[in-house]
Amino acid sequence: MSELLAHIPFQRTPPVSTEWVIEPLRRGDTAAVTELFDAMSARSRQQRFHNAMPRLSERMLAYLSDVDGERHIAVAARVRGRCVGIARAVVSRDRASVADVAVAVADDHQRQGLGRRLIHALAADARAVGIREFEGSIHPGNDAARGLARSMAATASYDEGMLRATLSLTGAFPSPA
């Protein structure tokens, strides 16, 4: 484990909702993407997108919902049909077995273990299409994401002011529970 992640406490709290249904995000599901974006605070958006994003542009919405199941995969968590989380992986242009990963969770479902469950579901789909490693940029102030990376045995380094975490999908993989 990286020393950069070692000092971040990871506190598991009992889930408020045990009704999460995690399923692949369907191509063109702009409603789910918009619903989740609207359920995120300005701070959560800053930490996920690395800039203040008061709204999703049409271009960004199209990109986030353009999953193809091979080079751009995503899973969504829903509660009673409402999208409360999305994890996505986009395969690197120059390394077919590596994908950039990102997770977003609605504010009212954060710190309940949903991010970890989303990563596990995404990893299963990723392995099926030949992805062996996730890489992700974490905003330095995002303690929850740093804790999640640490709890999943990711390695980390700083790159241009961002924390760059790498998670191997081969071998032993920490359980989602």
All domains of the chain, ordered by start, with CATH?
3-168 (3.40.630.30)
- pTM score of the predicted model: 0.86
Could you tell me how many helices (H) and strands (E) the chain has, helices first? 6, 7
Give strand pairing partners of 86: 76, 104
Nearby residues of 113 by Cβ (< 8 Å), 6 or more positions away: 12, 13, 15, 176, 177
Residues in the chain with pLDDT < 70? 1-18, 172-177
Give strand pairing partners of 166: 135, 155
Q: Could you give the strand order of the β-sheet that contains 21-24, starting from the edge strand earlier in sequence?
A: 21-24, 72-79, 82-91, 98-105, 133-138, 162-168, 155-159
> What was the pLDDT predicted at 18?
59
